[in-house]
Amino acid sequence: MADEPTGALDTASGKEVMRTLLELHAAGHTVILVTHDHKVAANAERIIEISDGEIISDRRTAQATQPVPEAQPAKQPGMAPRRLMASLGLFREAFNMAWIALISHRMRTLLTMLGIIIGITSVVSISAIGEGAKRYVLKDIQSIGSNTIDIYAGANFGDSRAKSIETLLPTDVAALNQLYYIDSATPVVGRSMLVRYRNVDVDAQLNGVSSRYFQVRNIQLAAGITFSDQDARRQAQVVVLDHNTAQRLFGPGVNPLGQVILVGKLPCTVIGVTSDHKNLFIAGNTLNLWMPYETAAGRVLGQRHL
Interior angle at CA 304, CA 300 and CA 225, nearest 5: 60
Conformation bin of residue 282: beta by default, left when phi > 0, alpha when psi is -120 to 50:
beta
- What is the spatial distance between Cα 274 and Cα 224, in angstroms, rounded to a whole number? 9
Residue 178 has pLDDT above 80, yes or no: yes
DSSP, collapsed to helix, strand or coil, labels residue 136 as helix
Better pLDDT: 157 or 258: 258
Superfamily of domain 2-65: P-loop containing nucleotide triphosphate hydrolases (3.40.50.300)
pLDDT 10s digits, 20-75: 888 888 888 888 877 877 777 788 888 888 887 788 888 887 665 455 445 455 55
Per domain, the residue ranges of the chain are: 2-65, 81-135, 168-301
- The closest alpha carbon to 260, from 194, 197, 195, belongs to 197
- What is the spatial distance between Cα 263 and Cα 295, in angstroms, rounded to a whole number? 11
pLDDT for the residue numbered 238: 96
177-186 long-range contacts, CB within 8 A, separation 24+:
177/212, 183/215, 183/216, 184/212, 184/215, 184/216, 185/212, 185/216, 186/210, 186/212, 186/213, 186/216, 186/293
- What is the spatial distance between Cα 253 and Cα 272, in angstroms, rounded to a whole number? 16
- What is the spatial distance between Cα 270 and Cα 264, in angstroms, rounded to a whole number? 15
Residue 145 has pLDDT above 70, yes or no: no
pLDDT for the residue numbered 282: 57
Q: What is the DSSP letter of 10?
A: -
